[in-house]
Amino acid sequence: MHAIMGRSGHVTLMICVAAPLLMGQSCWLLQNLLPATNPDSGQTQLPVDGTDGTADDGSTDGGTTDNSTNDKGDTDDGTDDDGTDDAATAPYEIHKLPDGDSYATGAIAVNDTGQAVGTMTLYGLLDTSTVSWREGASGCRRLWGPGLVSDINNQGWATGLDGDRDDIICSIMRAVYLADGVVHRIKAVEGRNASVPISINNLGEIVGYSYVEAVDCIDQLTPRDEQYVAFLYREGQVTGLGTLPGDTESSARSINDHGKVVGLSYNEDQVNVFLWENGTMTKLETLRGFVGTFSCGKPPSFAADYSVTLHINNADQILVAYPDVAYILENDGAKVDLMDTPLPDGAHVTGFNDLGQVVGYSRGIPGIMNWEGRGFLWEDGTVTDFLELLPEGAGWNNVAPRDINNVGQIVGYGRIDGGREAFIMTPTE
């Protein structure tokens, strides 16, 4: 599914921790409801009395209230005031996710129940947190924060980074996952002191990478000599996955429910895609046009993007995408080239589900307020512009989808009514 990953180019390729200044955001109505942390156990217990943004009956008591009307002034009963169907001819309906009057929101991932996770910010980029939304709820629920969230599974377990609320810029971001109301820390691979979790499967297994992080704000500007290494978190244990022969660093990007992991293994001369299964790492492909090392010091560039996308779904199909290249590796070794369609110019692929559907966007840099982009859906060799999927006059533009679940629901962010908002799109059939 989705990555908190770093910066790339055709001369050098880097992986850095995604900057909270770039992607981290907060649900401001819930921002002061910090869960209590047990320093001995490394776990954080969320409140259970409704102060976490939900009432004791499970309904949302924080965030925004539902005014039961849409942008055209019609009631949200699926019809216009004249009784006609709002989306009679549109393949999808789109809904803005509650934002608590925040400055900007962005949904990053969605599970098969329609629960989405993402980020929000109020009026300052340092006012950060992570949140989740349930379809139809009138508000959002705070997960942890300040920090970043990268993925969610069908149990509602989420994973990402949690930082120091009082020192966002200079603090080490801690790898965490939220399970059954408790925030757990994920230890780094031996010899490293920090990790970035990227993907979680429905068994609660998590993959990402570990590295050595600077321990003070000044030292963070110095490049580190210690290598990045892919990790697997399974049943409370962290295991380093190593690298392919001849490579020096690695990063795991995606894990499916069969425990198969895909990621990148690299050295100064080449960047390779690997498949890890039952303790064995196998080389699949060498990326074209990338030379250099992924290692970098902190902070990363503000222009950090997500130009290399890797996903493995539960059909064991592997999606590989980077600038001007996008394809699906089938179980039998066949390759489906998405560029034959072709994809839009400057396409960046972000989401991939078990049905083989792919979402992404073209042009621009998400996170920059005035970026220009268009979302697209790829399915069975056909590319459809998002504007063709939505009801006429929906009012959204610069849409950047980030994930698609196995029901076909799509989440991401775009611009509507002058602001950047998170959305969820649901098929009408």
Contact present, 320 and 307 (Cβ < 8 Å):
no
pLDDT band at 61 (very low <50, low <70, confident <90, very high): very low
pLDDT-based confidence at residue 62 (cuts at 50, 70, 90): very low
Does residue 59 belong to any structural domain of this protein?
Answer: no
At 163 the pLDDT is 73
What CATH number should be reported for the domain holding residue 137? 2.130.10.10
**3-state SS class at 147:** strand
* Domain assignment of residue 2, yes or no: no
Mean pLDDT of the chain: 74
14: confidence class by pLDDT, cuts 50, 70, 90: very low
Beta strands in 57-192 (DSSP E): 92-96, 104-110, 116-121, 128-133, 141-142, 147-152, 158-162, 174-179, 182-185
Is the predicted pLDDT of residue 164 greater than 60, yes or no? no
pLDDT band at 120 (very low <50, low <70, confident <90, very high): confident
The mean-pLDDT minimum among 6-10, 304-308, 392-396 falls in 6-10
**Residues with Cβ within 8 Å of residue 279, at least 6 apart in sequence:** none
pLDDT of 23 higher than 70: no
Q: What percent of the chain has pLDDT above 70?
A: 64
Tokens 């997500």 locate to: 306
Name the band, by pLDDT with cuts 50, 70 and 90, for residue 11. Answer: very low
CA distance 97 to 27: 12
Q: Report yes or no on 185 lying in a domain.
A: yes
DSSP 3-state of 30:
helix
Query: pLDDT confidence of 1, banded at 50, 70, 90?
Result: very low
**pLDDT tens-digit map of 328-386:** 999 898 999 999 988 888 888 999 999 999 999 986 544 444 455 789 999 999 999 99
Q: Strands across the sheet with 147-152, in order?
A: 36-38, 43-45, 182-185, 174-179, 158-162, 147-152
49: in domain: yes
- 43-52, 92-101, 255-264: range with lowest mean pLDDT: 43-52
CB 238, CB 183: distance < 8 Å:
no
Give the pLDDT confidence score for residue 184 in this predicted structure. Answer: 94
Residue 307 above 50 pLDDT?
A: yes
Looking at per-residue confidence, does 144 or 178 come out higher? 178
Is 387's pLDDT higher than 50? yes
What is the average pLDDT across 46-60?
33
Q: What is the pLDDT of residue 384?
A: 95
**Choice among 109-123, 136-150, 233-247, 392-406 with the minimum mean pLDDT:** 136-150
Owning domain of residue 189:
20-54+89-427
Closest CA to 217 of 170, 172, 165, 167: 170
Please report the pLDDT score of residue 421 as a whole number.
87
313 falls within a domain: yes
Q: Is residue 221 pLDDT above 80, yes or no?
A: no
pLDDT at 141: 81
- Write out the two tokens for 380: 């069975």
Mean pLDDT, rounded, for 52-79: 38
Is the pLDDT confidence value at 115 over 80?
yes
Q: What is residue 104's predicted lDDT score, i.e. its pLDDT?
A: 67
Classified as helix, coil or strand, 262 is strand
Locate 341 and state its tokens.
Answer: 């369609």
In a domain, 68, yes or no: no
Q: Which is more confidently placed, 175 or 21? A: 175
Q: CA 171: distance to chain centroid?
A: 21
pLDDT of residue 169: 52
Which tokens go with 420?
């950047």
Residue 207 has pLDDT above 70, yes or no: yes
Which of 1-5, 119-123, 388-392 bottoms out in mean pLDDT, i.e. has the lowest? Answer: 1-5
Whole-angstrom CA distances from 192 to 119, 220, 281 are: 27, 15, 21
Which of 109-118, 145-154, 304-313: highest mean pLDDT? Answer: 109-118
Q: Is 15 inside any structural domain?
A: no
105-115 as b/e, with b when 16 or more CB fall inside 10 Å?
Answer: bbbbbbbeebb
Is 78 domain-assigned? Answer: no
Higher pLDDT, 210 or 31: 210
The number of domains in the chain is 1
Q: Comparing 31-40, 282-291, 358-367, which segment has the lowest mean pLDDT?
A: 31-40
How would you list the strands of the sheet with 374-379, edge to edge? 347-352, 358-362, 374-379, 382-385
